[in-house]
Chains A and B, each alone.
Chain A
Amino acid sequence: MLTQIPILSLLIWLPLIGGFLVLFGPGDKLLVWSQRISIFVSILILLLSGLLLYMFNGASGEMELSEVAQWIPSLNINYSLGVDGIAVPLIVLTGFINLLVIIGAIGSIKFRRAQYFSATLVLTGLMNGVFAAQDAILFYVFWEAMLIPMFLMIGVWGGPNRIYATIKFFLFTFFGSIFMLVALIYMGSSIGSFNIADMQKMPLSLLEQTWIFVAFVAAFAVKIPMVPVHTWLPDAHVEAPTGGSVILAAIMLKMGGYGFLRFALPITPDAASEYAWLLIAFSLVAIAYIGFVALAQQDMKKLIAYSSIAHMGFVTLGTFIIFNLASVDISSMALQGAMIQMISHGLISGALFFSIGVLYDRVHSRNIADYGGVINSMPIFGALMMLFVLANAGLPGTSGFIGEFFVILASFQTDWRIALVAATTLILGAAYSLWLYKRVIFGKPLNDTIERLEDINSREKVILFSLAILILALGIFPQPLIEIMQPSLEVLLELTDSKIVEVAVGGAH
C-alpha cells in the first residue's frame, strides 16, 4: 500500500503548492499563519523524505519509485520521475536543509518574510524535481526554473551589492545550461526520446560525445563550480541572505556533481575519459590554489565560499579520476568519496553559513576584523562552531574526513603527484578554517558589543545542534550512506565503459 503513494511527486509539489499558498494566502499581513504553514509544510517534507528513505530499497542500483505520465506526447517528453542511490541522499539532504532554513528565517529575516518562506519552499520543490527527474527536458525545466526563486532571494534580501551578484549568478548559470539544452535536444531528437536512461544507452561517436561533453561541462562546471568559472560563487554567497547561502552551498552546488554523475559520465564516457586529465587538473587547481585564496580573505562568508570551491574540487576529482583507475573497487571508492563529500559538505558548509548568520544577526558585519573573543560571551556557540570548523578542515571523526580520505586514497592509485596536491587540503583547509576560528572566536573581546553578545537562542540551538549531530554521525558511522549508494554507483560504473562500437580493423598488423 505504501508503495502506491506517489512520493516523489509529493516531494516536488507539496513544497511548491505550500510556497504559493503562503504567498497568495496569508502573505505578510498574517505573518503568524504564513509561519505556521511554512513550518508545517517543511516538517511534512522532512517526514516524506524520511519515508522515501524507508521505501527505497537500493539493493539493485536501478531506478525505483518510478512515476511516468505523458506530458508532451508530440515531442515524446514525459513527466517521468525516479530515484536511485545517488539521488536519494540528496533529496533527504534537501528536505532537512529546507526545514532549517525556514526556522532560521524566523529570526533573521526582517521584512517580506512570508515571501521569503515562499521562495524557500518553491526552491525546495524545484530542487527535489532536479534530483528526481528522469526525463532530460523535465530535468532542464526544474534546473532552470530553480534559478528564478534564488535570483529573487539574493536580489530582495541580499547585501548591498546584491544586484550585481544575483545577475551574475543567473547569467553564469544560464550560460552553462543553455548549451546543455542544445545538447539534450540534439540527443533527444536523434533517438526520439528524452528519457535519460535511453540517452545513457545511445551510441555516440567520439566527435559527438566530445561536443556533448563540452556542453555538459559548461553546465555542471559552472554550477559546482570549477575553477575558471567559479567567480560567481563568492559574490553570490557574500550577498545572499543566510538562508540563501545555505541553500546555495548545501544543495545547489551539489547539482553540478549530480549532473556529472547522472549525465556526463554515462552519456559521454569516452569523451569524459579523453578529457579527464583536464578536469582533474582544474580540480587540483581548485583544491590547492583556491585554498590559498581562502586563506587571504577578510570576509567570513567569502572565506567559506572559497573553501566550498576547494571542497567541491574533491567531488570533481573523485568523479573524473575513475578513468585512470584500473580496478572497479577503487573506482567505486573514488565515486563514493565524491558522493560522501557532497553530502558532508552540504551539512558542514550549511552549518558554517548558519554560524556566520548567527554572528551577523548580532553584530551586522561579516568582516573578520570586526570580531574577536566571541567565546567569552557565546560559549555554546563557540563550542559548536569549533566542531564545524574542524569538520571543514577534515578532522577524522567528522563527515568532512571520509570523503576527502576516499578520494585521496583513490588518486594514490593513479599518480602519487595528484594525491600529493590533493592532500595539501589537509594543511590548507586546517589553516584557513582554524585561523578564521582563532581570529573570530578566541582572544579577548574586541569591544563592548562583542562582550555583551547573547548566546544562541533555542531556535539557533535547534539548527546548529541538529547539524552537529549529523556531521558527527556521518563521520563516525558512514556505512548506511555508503550502502544506499553503493549499488547505484556500481551500475553507473558499468555505464562508463566505452560506447564507441569497435570497428573490426581489417588488414594485417
Chain B
Amino acid sequence: MDINLVAVASQALNQVSHDFWPIMPELFLLTAASIVLILDVFSTDLDRKLTYNLSQFILLVTGIMIVFQFPSSQDFLYHRHFIHDPLSATLKISMVVLTGIALMFARPYILQRRILRGEYYLLHLFALLGMMLLVSGSSLLSLYLGLELMSLCLYALVAMNRREKLSAEAAVKYFVMGAIASGFILYGISFVYGVTGKIHVADIAAFLNDNEASLTLRFALVFIVTGLAFKFGAVPFQMWVPDVYHGAPTSTTVFLASAPKVAAFGLAIRILVFGFAGALIDWQSLLIILAVLSMVVGNLVALAQTNIKRLLAYSAIAHIGYFLLGFIAGNTQGYTASLFYILTYAITSLGGFGCLIYMAKGQQEVSQIDDLKGLGQRNPWAGLLVSFLFLSMAGLPPFVGFWAKLEVIKAVLNVDGLIWLALVAAFMSIIGLFYYLKVVKVIFFDKAENDTRIRAERSLRLGLGITSISVIALGLFPSQLLEFCKQAFQYI
C-alpha cells in the first residue's frame, strides 16, 4: 500500500521537472535581491554604497549564469509555463546589461537628491526579475505574472520622488494607465481562454492551426494588442509617455526607456508570434495603424518640444513606430530586425537620458534643450559622445541607428504591398532628423553661458562612455549584434 503510494507520488513528481538549472538565474536573482533587501535595512552605510555594489554584483552573476546556461534548443518546462530558448536567453542578457548601465546612471543621481534609498536599486532588480519571467513565459498566466511584477516595480520607481509635484502626477498617471493596459490584456486573455479553453501559447497556436480565428478571438486579439500598445507607448495609446518620462526622476526615465521596452518586445513575440501566428493578418493590420500613427505623431509633436525630456519621450514614441515595422513584416527576418531595433534603441536612449544626468548640476536638473548649450565647448569629448547618440537616433551612418532603420525598412520592403510603409518611414525620418539636429546644434554651435568644465562622477562618465562608444562601435561593426539577434529566432 505504502509502496504503491510512493510509486504514484514519484510518478507524479517525475512529471514535474526536477531540473532547476534553466530557472537558476531567476532563482538566484530573487534570493540574492531579497537578502540584500534585508541587509540594506540593517546597513548603517549612509551612502548605500554597499547596496549599489551588491546590486551590480548580483547583476553580474545573473548575467554570467545566463551566458553559461545558454540553451541550444527550445524547451518548455515546469508544466510548460516556462520556456527556455535562445530568444529568452538573448533578451535576458540584454536586459541585465541595460539594467546594469541604468544603475550606473542612477547612482550619482539619487545620491544628490533626497531619494537615496536602498530600495531604489533593489526595485530595479525586482523589475528585472519580472522582465526575465516575462520573456520566458509560455502561458498567458506566466506572461501576465511577469508583466505585473515588472510594472509594479516601475510604478514604485516613478513614484520615488514623492515630494516633487510633477513626479507624483507622473506616478499616478503611470499607475492608472498601466493598470488600464494590464486590464485590457487580462480581458483579452479571458476571452482567449473562453474561446479556446487553452492557456499555453503553444496550445493556442495549435488551436488556430486547426480552426479559423473566430470573431470573438479576434475581438480578444484587439484587446491584447491595445494593451501591448499601451505598454509600448504607441499612438494612440501614448498619452502617458511624455508626462511620465518628464515627471519621473531622470534616473528612472533612463531605466524606463530601456530594459522594459525589450521586455515588452518579448511579451509581444510570445503572444503574437508564438500564440497568434495563425491570426497574423489580423494583428498585422492593427500594427500597421499603430506604426504609421506613432511615426507620424511622434515625430511631428517632437518638433514642437522645448523640453528635452519630452522631446526624447516623443522621439521614443516615433521609434516604437519604426520598431513595429519589423513585426508587421511577419517573418523571422522582420522579428530579427525588430529585436535589433529595440536593442539599439534601448542602448541609445540609455545614453540620451543619461546625458541629462551627466549635465545636471547638483540639485539643478537639465530640462530645456537650451540647457545643453555649449556642451561641445565646455567638454568637447562629452559633446561629441552625446551628439553621437542623437545622430544615431536620427538614423545616420556610421552609427548603429542607421543599421536598425535599414533592417526594418528592408523587412517591410520584402513584403508585397507594403512599400508605401517604407516610404512613410523614410519620410518621417527626415522630420526626425530636424529635431535631433536641433539638439546637436545647441551642443556645438551655441555659446556656453559658463565655461566651467563639467565634473561628473566616474560611474556617469563610464555609463555615457559605454553607451556612446557602443553606438559608434556597433555602427562600424554591426555584424555581431545582428548575428546575436538572428540566432534568437532559430526556433520560430
Q: Measuring CB to CB, which residues of chain A are less than 8 angstroms from any residue of chain B?
A: 23, 27, 71-75, 115, 137, 140-141, 144-145, 147-148, 151-152, 155-156, 162-163, 166-167, 170-171, 174-175, 178-179, 181-182, 185-186, 188-189
- What residue of chain B has the Cβ atom nearest to residue A185's Cβ? B410
- Cβ contact within 8 Å between B422 and A178: no
Partner of B479, one of A72, A115, A167: A72
- Cβ contact within 8 Å between B426 and A141: no
Given A162-B445, A178-B430, A189-B414 in contact, is the A167-B398 Cβ separation under 8 Å? Answer: no
23 A-B residue pairs with Cβ-Cβ distance under 8 Å, sorted by A, are A72-B403, A74-B479, A74-B483, A137-B406, A141-B398, A141-B402, A144-B397, A144-B402, A145-B397, A156-B444, A167-B438, A171-B433, A171-B434, A174-B430, A174-B433, A178-B429, A179-B426, A181-B426, A182-B409, A185-B406, A186-B413, A188-B410, A189-B410
A170 to chain B: which residues have CB within 8 Å? Answer: 433, 437
B311 to chain A: which residues have CB within 8 Å? Answer: none
A137 to chain B: which residues have CB within 8 Å? Answer: 406
Q: Tell me the minimal C-beta distance from A486 to chain B in angstroms.
A: 34
With A and B bound together, what is the CA distance between A137 and B398 in angstroms?
11
- Cβ contact within 8 Å between A185 and B434: no
A145 to chain B: which residues have CB within 8 Å? Answer: 396-398
A175 to chain B: which residues have CB within 8 Å? Answer: 430
Give 7 new A-B contacts, CB below 8 A, not counting A74-B482, A155-B444, A155-B445: A72-B403, A141-B397, A145-B398, A148-B391, A163-B441, A171-B434, A178-B427
Within 8 A of A (CB), among B466-483: 478-479, 482-483
Interface of A is mostly: helix
Partner of A179, one of B410, B423, B441, B445: B423
- Cβ contact within 8 Å between B426 and A178: yes
- What residue of chain A has the Cβ atom nearest to residue B478's Cβ? A72
Count, A-B residue pairs, CB within 8 A? 81
Contact with A along B255-294 (1 / 0, CB 8 A): 0000000000000000000000000000000000000000
With A and B bound together, what is the CA distance between A182 and B427 in angstroms?
10
Within 8 A of A (CB), among B362-421: 380, 391, 396-398, 402-403, 406, 409-410, 413-414, 419
Within 8 A of A (CB), among B421-449: 422-423, 426-427, 429-430, 433-434, 437-438, 440-441, 444-445
Instruction: Check: B486 CB closer than 8 A to any chain A CB.
Output: yes
- Cβ contact within 8 Å between B413 and A163: no
With A and B bound together, what is the CA distance between A170 and B435 in angstroms?
12
Q: Tell me the minimal C-beta distance from B293 to chain A in angstroms.
A: 20
Q: Tell me the minimal C-beta distance from A9 to chain B in angstroms.
A: 14
B440 to chain A: which residues have CB within 8 Å? Answer: 151
- Cβ contact within 8 Å between A75 and B430: no
- Cβ contact within 8 Å between B396 and A167: no
A189 to chain B: which residues have CB within 8 Å? Answer: 410, 413-414
With A and B bound together, what is the CA distance between A162 and B437 in angstroms?
14
- Cβ contact within 8 Å between B430 and A155: no
- Cβ contact within 8 Å between A72 and B482: yes
With A and B bound together, what is the CA distance between A88 and B455 in angstroms?
48
Q: Tell me the minimal C-beta distance from B236 to chain A in angstroms.
A: 26
A152 to chain B: which residues have CB within 8 Å? Answer: 444
- Cβ contact within 8 Å between B434 and A167: yes
Q: Which interface residue of A73, A115, A178, A186 has the most chain B CB atoms within 10 A?
A: A178
With A and B bound together, what is the CA distance between A74 and B419 in angstroms?
22
Given A144-B402, A175-B430 in contact, is the A75-B413 Cβ separation under 8 Å? Answer: no
With A and B bound together, what is the CA distance between A67 and B441 in angstroms?
37
A73 to chain B: which residues have CB within 8 Å? Answer: 479
- What residue of chain B has the Cβ atom nearest to residue A72's Cβ? B479
6 nearest interchain CB pairs?
A141-B397, A155-B445, A178-B426, A72-B479, A185-B410, A144-B397
- Cβ contact within 8 Å between B398 and A182: no
B430 to chain A: which residues have CB within 8 Å? Answer: 171, 174-175, 178
B403 to chain A: which residues have CB within 8 Å? Answer: 72
- What residue of chain B has the Cβ atom nearest to residue A142's Cβ? B397
- Cβ contact within 8 Å between A182 and B413: yes
Q: Tell me the minimal C-beta distance from A353 to chain B in angstroms.
A: 22
B434 to chain A: which residues have CB within 8 Å? Answer: 167, 171
Q: Tell me the minimal C-beta distance from A223 to chain B in angstroms.
A: 15
With A and B bound together, what is the CA distance between A490 and B402 in angstroms?
36
- Cβ contact within 8 Å between B441 and A155: yes
A155 to chain B: which residues have CB within 8 Å? Answer: 441, 444-445
- Cβ contact within 8 Å between A71 and B409: no
Q: Tell me the minimal C-beta distance from B327 to chain A in angstroms.
A: 18
With A and B bound together, what is the CA distance between A438 and B422 in angstroms?
53
- Cβ contact within 8 Å between B444 and A185: no
- Cβ contact within 8 Å between A181 and B441: no
